[in-house]
Amino acid sequence: MALQFLGIWPDTPDNGSPTIWLDDTPGDLIIQSWKADEETVKEAQRVGSIPDHSTDVPPHETVIRLPANMLQFIPGPSEDTTT
């Protein structure tokens, strides 16, 4: 695993700020952010995703809230240069 730092909450006031890294090998984003509150989790479960997919959050997962100003650090799709 080779992580690349992408960004941290602008003008971070403390040590608990949202941070984003990119795992260079698979291209995964690693995100540290605030856990979503119970109201947000329940609303996400109510809205759901695809038909017949469970809305339970498994023990190995969590729901986070990524602040809008952190979107600037998320890379766009890679350009395919093989075609």
Evaluate if residue 61 carries a pLDDT over 70: yes
* Residue 63 forms part of a structural domain: yes
What range defines the domain where residue 26 resides?
Answer: 3-73
State pLDDT tens for residues 11-60: 777 777 899 999 988 889 999 998 999 999 999 999 999 999 999 999 99
Evaluate if residue 81 carries a pLDDT over 70: no
Q: How many residues does the chain have?
A: 83
pLDDT at 47: 94
* Residue 53 forms part of a structural domain: yes
* Residue 81 forms part of a structural domain: no
Residue identified by tokens 């602040």 is 67
pLDDT at 62: 92
Which residues lie below 8 Å from residue 63, measured CB to CB, with a gap of 6+?
Answer: 35, 36, 40, 41, 44, 57
pTM for this predicted structure: 0.74
